[in-house]
Amino acid sequence: MAWLSRILAPVAFSPRCHGAVQYAETLSCHFHSELILLHVLAPPMALYSAPEATAYSTADEFTAERLEQSKIELGTYLGGQCPDIPLTQEVVRGDPAREIVDYAREHNVDLIVMATHGYGPFRRFLLGSVTAKVLHDAGCPVWTGPHLEAAPSYQTIGFRSIVCAIDLAKGSRAVLEWAGRFAREYAAELAIVHVLPQSLVQWGGMYFDPEWRNQAAAAARDQIVRLQVELQTAGEVLIEMGDAPVAVSDVALRRQADLLVIGRGRESGLLGRLRANAYAILRESPCPVVTI
């Protein structure tokens, strides 16, 4: 069975969503995966509150019309660049985040590819509630990012540079393993970044011995190298210092990364706190992000 044998792409018929589906279709083509396009209709009363619903006598009538229309739109949503991939198209009703997470769990999905919601100068402060809930609850990796509306064309989507950020907590092994495997699939360069806190330099007005920082950096590098040997994963190790979201995003920008891989586990640690750091890294990232 293929590594990513089943990919789920939730579809909301938005420009950002279209970019996410471009990535999902490209990945499905490469991995010969089943691609699932899933559209979730809001509950009937939420739909019936829309202005266009006034043309219908009942909420059920309006919902039925929307259901059929969504099925038609979903059937024409793909770019058709890889017509031989197995394709499933589903329209369901309910709470979008819950339906996406439940569908992924029930159908053994290996990867969810979906857009965020962040607009204009406020992008750094926003993450769509549906995406946030999926990131929190999904049991499989989630591929997302704030720039998916500007996804490259099918012909130019490629992965030459991968950055993997790990905090050396319990979940780091799975994060690096996923990143290494993806990099090997595309013969991409892999950089592994670990961010040391600024508190190793100073705390309040007190500055610490630089040798302490050097020892911490050396210890982190040694731990990463040991993990690389265990996983047989090659890649340059980068030890940065400062605010994790800014430092990780800066590395991704410097290396012109095509993909950033981070953790979103429940463990404590620099990148292990989902709300505190993974969300912030995702918002700041210059490229798509896979959270493991």
Q: Which position has the token pair 């995003």?
A: 249
Q: In whole angstroms, what is the distance from residue 196 CA to residue 241 CA? A: 5
Written out in words, the top-level CATH class of the domain with range 1-153 is: alpha beta
Report whether pLDDT(42) > 80.
no
**pLDDT in the model for residue 117:** 66
**CATH (residue range 158-292):** 3.40.50.620
Classified as helix, coil or strand, 89 is strand
Phi (first) and psi of residue 113, to 5 degrees = -115, 115
**pLDDT in the model for residue 118:** 45
The pLDDT tens digits for 175-232 are: 999 999 999 999 999 999 999 887 665 555 555 567 778 898 999 999 999 999 999 9
**pLDDT in the model for residue 10:** 95
**CA dihedral sign of residues 194, 196, 138, 42:** negative
Largest Cα separation within the chain, whole Å, is 75
**pLDDT in the model for residue 227:** 97
Domain boundaries, the chain: 1-153, 158-292
Q: How much is the pTM? A: 0.86
DSSP notation for 158-207: --SEEEEE--SSTTHHHHHHHHHHHHHHTT-EEEEEEEE-GGGTEETTEE
Residues 34 and 28 sit within 8 Å (Cβ to Cβ): yes
Among left, alpha and beta (phi > 0; psi -120 to 50; other), residue 32 is left
Q: In whole angstroms, what is the distance from residue 180 CA to residue 58 CA? A: 53
Q: Pick from 118, 157, 148, 155: which is nearest to 279 by CA?
A: 118
Residues in the chain: 292
204: CB partners within 8 A, 6+ apart: none
Q: End-to-end alpha-carbon separation of the chain, Å?
A: 20
Q: In whole angstroms, what is the distance from residue 83 CA to residue 25 CA? A: 10
The pLDDT tens digits for 98-115 are: 999 999 999 999 999 998
Assign 119 a pLDDT band (cuts: 50, 70, 90): very low
Report whether pLDDT(133) > 70.
yes
Establish whether domains 1-153 and 158-292 are of one fold: yes
